[in-house]
Amino acid sequence: MKICGAWVTDVDDTVIMSGNLPTNEIISTLSGLITELKKRHVLWVAMSGVAMAKIGSRLLYKLPEELLDNIVYYAGDGSQSFTFNPGTRMWVEDNGFRRIFSDAQALAVLGENEFIRQFKELSLQGRIRNVKQKLDNARTLLQSTGYNTKQSILDKMKEKLRSGGFEPSESETYFRGGSVSWMMLGDISAEPYRTEKAVKVRKELLSMAESLLADRNFLSDIGEGEIHVPFPGARGIKFVLNGNNKERAMRYLIKEYDIRSREILFIGNELFAGGNDNMIRNIADATLLSVTEGEDPGENVVSGHFQDNGSAVAEVEANLKWMDWAGYRMKQGYPWEAVIHTIRLHGASVLKNRNMFYRKHNGWIPSGVRKKSHRKRQIDVLYFDKGGTLSRRVPLKDNGRSFIKEIMKRVGAEVPVDEFLKMLDERNKIYKKWSVDNWLEPCEEEIWTRFMLPDYPVEIVRYHAQELVLLYSHSKGLRQFKPEAKKVIEELSGRGYRLGAVTNTISKVLVPGELDDAGIADYIETLVMSSVTGIRKPDPRLFLLAARIMNVEPSRCAYIGDQVDRDAEGPHRAGFGLSVIVRGEKAPFVLDKLAPVQKPDLVVNSLEDLLSILN
């Protein structure tokens, strides 16, 4: 099975508060999100410093078992990787990714008492045997290389912590295979770490840790790599095997599952200098969503933080809203590409109404927009065409040449702009005829490598295909929603109609982005696009799919469009109860000369006329 993307997330203080268990709302929302991701062959990937044994009981074991094979967990700050085997019903470590401390390195950092405690815990989990033998071997190696086995690095740092006015017994230590996390004030919220006194002492401890490591060549002589303290912006103090981090995990994910980086969304709360999410910036083209106030702006970094009634929303709550929003959009019919594109385009503005969504047993619907109707009627669901019905094109002053130049830049074309534009238009006509004749809509990559630019490097064209579609579409004029469109949609929704959209489009991201721009997306319960299904109107299967998704009989559906050859014929062939044509930009038609299957049931002059008909 080809994996089509990944929702990658930090766990602590993003999905759940550090040290806390997830609420039922978090589990429910996360389960809904992973369900939609799995339908699209998009992985949910969690990253944390926490060991598998602990994250399992805190989070993963609480998720429905049928979703677990769609999850990858990177533990120990990028030192271990785990996936679920449905056959054995066990989590399995990927030994090809495993990169951990040697026993001698662990002893040098932890000290004997902490070494025994940490490894006994692993022994109880059945992951290692003979703790005493491991300790003896590690001690022997340290002594042979001149290390003081009686006082570890953490022992010395605890003395420094006490001299700074804090009690070392309240600190907590976690050994995570490829890293050691020392919470000098305990595994508590970040606030106590932000006091002036704590910041000062922590800064001194960080300097001390680096100095102690440097004095011993970063412990490289007793293990397979150096140990560093790479995250000065983190809450505690982390000793990490050099190279173990979320970037390493992400690059391994991309290679192992053959995922393109632009098909990846990363969500975290430490996308700032010194934060342990920040190295993800090195993954070119991935979309990075920050749910904290303190992110540093940069390429591909989107601010996903927002305020509610003037107050900043906590990172975990912000992430919950993003999971809810994305799950809802995919439930509507958004492809994964459209989810990423909309996040890049709009950022936190899509969450401006934090009470926008809620779940019901029969699906996800926008809250506060639908009044309950007690009247019986023949039509329950209204499906809309978009282009020409809800929106129209606005010509550009330069006839779109600026967009054509961008296409040429992407593919390395070195011909005059007008010549290149003429070529594209001629080839687009050939594609359109083929598409209309066959009722088919190939994916963006196939359209551009097969029809539009077959004589340009295939890999380059395929890589930029999604962007080329957008640029070429924009060159023909920007789509603007009709002034009355939102008012009509809101009113019909308020009257109790369920709303959907069925549209022909060669882009997976254009229509969803336009619906969000217009503030209409939240009213559309289901979006069916030819670019996703591979078939186009008037193929009745497109309309039957829409009805099936919304669990409604076709006879109780109406379709509103602007072209009789697709927007009347398709619904009729599918058995819809009503077809309505809105006269607009397209050439006029004479009803008497139309084939019976293309004759609409109603013809109106504007969208507003629908309000007097559908009352």
Q: Residue 191 above 70 pLDDT?
A: yes
Residue 343 within a domain: yes
Q: pLDDT tens digits for 141-186?
A: 999 988 888 899 999 999 999 999 999 999 999 888 899 989 999 8
The residue from 210, 241, 272 where one domain ends is: 241
Residue 338 within a domain: yes
Nearest to 237 by CA among 226, 249, 228: 228
Q: List, in order, residues 6 or more apart from 376 with CB less than 8 Å away.
A: none
Q: Indicate whether 374 and 505 sit together in one domain.
A: yes
Q: pLDDT tens digits for 252-262?
A: 999 999 999 99
Q: Residue 312 above 80 pLDDT?
A: no
Q: Indicate whether 147 and 74 sit together in one domain.
A: no
- 274-to-160, 229, 239, 277 alpha-carbon distances in Å: 23, 10, 14, 9
Q: Indicate whether 469 and 501 sit together in one domain.
A: no
Residue 374 within a domain: yes
Q: pLDDT tens digits for 76-123?
A: 889 999 999 999 999 999 999 999 999 999 999 999 999 988 887 765
Give the residue with greater pLDDT, 92 vs 128: 92
Q: Residue 373 above 50 pLDDT?
A: no
pLDDT at 588: 64
In the chain, DSSP finds a helix count (H) and a strand count (E) of 20, 24
Q: Residue 396 above 90 pLDDT?
A: no
* 2 burial level (CB within 10 Å; 0-12, 13-18, 19+): exposed
pLDDT at 360: 35
* 449 burial level (CB within 10 Å; 0-12, 13-18, 19+): buried
pLDDT at 192: 81
Most confident of 299-313, 405-419, 589-603: 405-419
Least confident of 388-402, 412-426, 576-590: 576-590
The residue from 425, 458, 476 where one domain ends is: 476
Gap between the Cα atoms of 171 and 153, Å rounded: 14
pLDDT above 90 covers what percent of the chain? 70
Count up the domains in the chain and report the number. Answer: 4
Q: Indicate whether 258 and 339 sit together in one domain.
A: yes
Q: Taking the alpha carbons of 460, 461, 466, 471 in that order, is the dihedral positive or negative?
A: positive
Q: Indicate whether 386 and 508 sit together in one domain.
A: yes
Residue 403 within a domain: yes
- What average pLDDT does the segment 428-451 reach? 96
pLDDT at 357: 42
Least confident of 91-105, 224-238, 289-303: 289-303
Residue 603 within a domain: yes
Q: Indicate whether 250 and 233 sit together in one domain.
A: no
Tokens of 568: 């009347």
Q: Indicate whether 59 and 130 sit together in one domain.
A: no
Q: Indicate whether 501 and 544 sit together in one domain.
A: yes
Q: Indicate whether 503 and 603 sit together in one domain.
A: yes
Residue 364 within a domain: no
* DSSP for 176-228, written as a single string: -SSEEEEETT-S--SGGGGSHHHHHHHHHHHHHHHHHHHHTGGGGGGSSS-EE
Residue 524's identity, in one-letter code, is I
At residue 306's C-alpha, the angle toward residues 235 and 5, to 5°, is 80
Q: Indicate whether 492 and 420 sit together in one domain.
A: no
Range of the structural domain that residue 217 is part of: 103-241
Residue 363 within a domain: no
Q: pLDDT tens digits for 9-52?
A: 999 889 998 878 999 999 999 999 999 999 999 999 999 988 88
At residue 578's C-alpha, the angle toward residues 576 and 579, to 5°, is 100
Residue 327 within a domain: yes
Q: State the pTM of this model.
A: 0.86
Q: Residue 374 above 70 pLDDT?
A: no
Least confident of 277-291, 486-500, 576-590: 576-590
CATH number, domain with residue 261: 3.40.50.1000
Q: Indicate whether 250 and 307 sit together in one domain.
A: yes
Q: Indicate whether 289 and 352 sit together in one domain.
A: yes
The residue from 334, 358, 382 where one domain ends is: 358
